[in-house]
Amino acid sequence: GQQVMQIPQYQHVQEGEDFTTYCNSSTTLSNIQWYKQRPGGHPVFLIQLVKSGEVKKQKRLTFQFGEAKKNSSLHITATQTTDVGTYFCARSYNTDKLIFGTGTRLQVFP
């Protein structure tokens, strides 16, 4: 019940193509956070979603929280080589733990 499934595990795209990663939970989530980890770096917070059906945008990144609060997605429009990295979703559990998804590694070919 705690786990967050994240797909795909890997994604290779040509620069300029779009990219989407998905997080799915079997239980209702109180909130979901997204992080980006560049190669050789550490995870960096991107955004937190709290409300059912919430959509937030950061430049070319669009984050969605499902209506039932059981899934979330991160969509990147027109990928650039600077988007390379691993994207993690994370859910709160018991108010004091953050459970991470397995991550989606994005590779962008110029």
CB of 88 to another protein, least distance (A): 7
Q: Are 63 and 72 in contact (CB under 8 A)?
A: yes
User: 22 to 51, contacts with another protein by CB under 8 A?
Assistant: 33, 35, 41-45, 48
CB of 16 to another protein, least distance (A): 28
Cα dihedral value 40, 45, 50, 55, nearest 10: -80
Q: Which of 74, 88, 91, 106 binds another protein (CB under 8 A)?
A: 88
Q: Is 65 in the site for another protein (CB under 8 A)?
A: no
Residue 9 and residue 58: Cα distance in Å, rounded? 23
DSSP-derived secondary structure letter, 29: -
- 24 versus 77: smaller Cβ distance to another protein: 24
Q: Which of 69, 101, 106, 108 binds another protein (CB under 8 A)?
A: 101
C-alpha dihedral sign at 10, 86, 72, 25? positive
Phi, psi at 83, each rounded to 5°:
-85, -10
CB of 84 to another protein, least distance (A): 17
Using CB under 8 A, list all residues that contact another protein: 6, 9, 33, 35, 41-45, 48, 88, 90, 92, 95-103
